């Protein structure tokens, strides 16, 4: 059987992408039944596998970068629609055999379902630049973006579906609902090292709370809740390099952190509250 140059390039591209994810602490498995994706990536945090996987489409190319510094690749509109609509995170990777660089994009971040569903064309050009290069650093950021998205979806699903499942007036439902929401939020706080040990805040997070409190307390429009949320956002940015977190997740995390402060750090929480009330 003859091995074509295209087969060799495809194999080289898959190895390049797998190597990057391996360096980021993720395990890649080649898809045996090809439905448009080449790799299934299992992400890990510490010694534990995440509760989701990532689908990766890999393409190899010998196209040269344009004078404007962009690599232009055409993709089937139906494929883009499927990837953008997929419940699992999808990453499309393009390996350049010329530069030996790998570029990547998340379909749901660059195309809309409506745009793809109503497109009069069969394909769409995606422009990739140096800002889209995939290396260990950007792979780690993408993995954290996926992890944050997973928690955000879990929280939104639990909140949206529980009333229909149990009935809003049902005491059993309320207890179960609150417990499951708390479990999702607490798991996120542990994963981001805001909480360490049993129910203790990390020193780095407490430092951020202190800095945020002293920074905002002089503003009469700010409340202790604002300082806690700012500390959470600052901690997540510094520890994960992710691109922020959704508002609903941020709001619920803030409420849980305030509850933990009240239960486990009542004196420190009283000091935080006093700093804001003394300004008023």
> What are the b/e assignments for 212-224, b being 16+ CB within 10 Å?
bbeebbeeeebeb
Residue 164's pLDDT is: 54
Please tell me whether residues 164 and 118 are part of one structural domain: no
What is the arithmetic mean of pLDDT over 93-118? 95
Please tell me whether residues 127 and 186 are part of one structural domain: no
Domain that holds residue 11: 5-134
Residue 192 has pLDDT above 80, yes or no: yes
pLDDT tens readout for residues 146-155: 999 999 999 9
Q: Kindly indicate the confidence band of residue 7, based on its pLDDT and cuts at 50, 70 and 90.
A: confident
Q: Which residue has the higher pLDDT, 240 or 163?
A: 240
Please tell me whether residues 164 and 263 are part of one structural domain: yes
Residue 269, in any domain of the structure: yes
**Cα dihedral value 180, 185, 189, 195, nearest 10:** -60
% of the chain residues with pLDDT over 70: 92
Residue 206, in any domain of the structure: yes
Residue 78 has pLDDT above 90, yes or no: yes
Residue 72 has pLDDT above 80, yes or no: yes
Please tell me whether residues 116 and 149 are part of one structural domain: no
Please tell me whether residues 153 and 66 are part of one structural domain: no
Residue 163 has pLDDT above 70, yes or no: no
Please tell me whether residues 125 and 149 are part of one structural domain: no
Residue 178's pLDDT is: 80
Residue 166, in any domain of the structure: yes
pLDDT tens readout for residues 244-280: 899 999 999 999 999 999 999 999 999 999 988 865 5
Residue 139, in any domain of the structure: no
Residue 167 has pLDDT above 70, yes or no: no
Structural domains in the chain (count): 2
Please tell me whether residues 239 and 273 are part of one structural domain: yes
Name the most confidently modeled range: 5-9, 199-203, 216-220: 199-203
Q: Kindly indicate the confidence band of residue 173, based on its pLDDT and cuts at 50, 70 and 90.
A: low
Model-level pTM? Answer: 0.88
**The domain spanning residue 10 has which CATH number?**
3.40.1350.10
Please tell me whether residues 168 and 236 are part of one structural domain: yes
Name residue, tokens 């809309």. 112
> Which of 100, 134, 168 marks a domain boundary?
134
Please tell me whether residues 127 and 160 are part of one structural domain: no
Please tell me whether residues 150 and 53 are part of one structural domain: no
> Which of 66, 101, 134 marks a domain boundary?
134
What is the arithmetic mean of pLDDT over 37-65? 93
Residue 31, in any domain of the structure: yes
Residue 63, in any domain of the structure: yes
What is the arithmetic mean of pLDDT over 45-63? 94
Residue 170's pLDDT is: 62
Residue 162 has pLDDT above 70, yes or no: no
Residue 54, in any domain of the structure: yes
Residue 165's pLDDT is: 52
pLDDT tens readout for residues 214-247: 999 888 889 999 999 999 999 999 999 888 899 9
> Which of 134, 155, 177 marks a domain boundary?
134
Please tell me whether residues 148 and 275 are part of one structural domain: yes
Residue 21 has pLDDT above 60, yes or no: yes
Residue 262, in any domain of the structure: yes
Give, in order, the Cα–Cα distances in Å from 238 to each of 44, 71, 256: 19, 31, 20
Please tell me whether residues 126 and 149 are part of one structural domain: no
């Amino acid at each position: 059987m003859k091995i074509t140059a295209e087969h060799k390039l495809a194999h080289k591209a898959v190895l390049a992408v797998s190597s990057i994810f391996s360096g980021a602490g993720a395990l890649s498995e080649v898809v045996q039944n090809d439905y448009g994706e080449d790799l299934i990536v299992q992400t890990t945090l510490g010694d534990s596998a995440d509760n989701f996987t990532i689908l990766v489409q890999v393409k190899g190319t010998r196209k040269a970068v344009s004078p404007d510094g962009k690599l232009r690749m055409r993709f089937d509109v139906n494929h883009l629609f499927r990837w953008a609509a997929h419940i699992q995170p999808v990453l499309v990777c393009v390996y350049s055999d010329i530069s030996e660089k790998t570029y990547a994009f998340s379909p749901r971040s660059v195309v809309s379902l409506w745009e793809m569903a109503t497109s009069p064309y069969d394909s769409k050009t995606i422009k990739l630049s140096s800002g889209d290069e995939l290396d260990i650093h950007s792979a780690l950021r993408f993995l954290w973006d996926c992890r944050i998205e997973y928690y955000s979806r879990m929280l939104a699903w639990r909140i949206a579906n529980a009333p229909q499942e149990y009935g809003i007036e049902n005491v059993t439902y309320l207890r179960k609902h609150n417990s499951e929401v708390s479990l999702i939020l607490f798991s996120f706080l542990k994963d981001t090292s805001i909480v360490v040990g049993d129910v203790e805040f990390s020193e780095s997070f407490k430092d951020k709370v202190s800095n945020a409190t002293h920074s905002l307390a002089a503003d009469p429009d700010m409340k202790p809740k604002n300082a806690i949320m700012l500390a959470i956002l600052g901690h997540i940015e510094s520890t994960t390099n992710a691109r922020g977190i959704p508002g609903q997740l941020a709001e619920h995390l803030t409420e849980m952190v305030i509850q933990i402060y009240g239960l486990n750090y009542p004196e420190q929480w009283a000091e935080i509250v006093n700093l804001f009330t003394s300004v008023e």
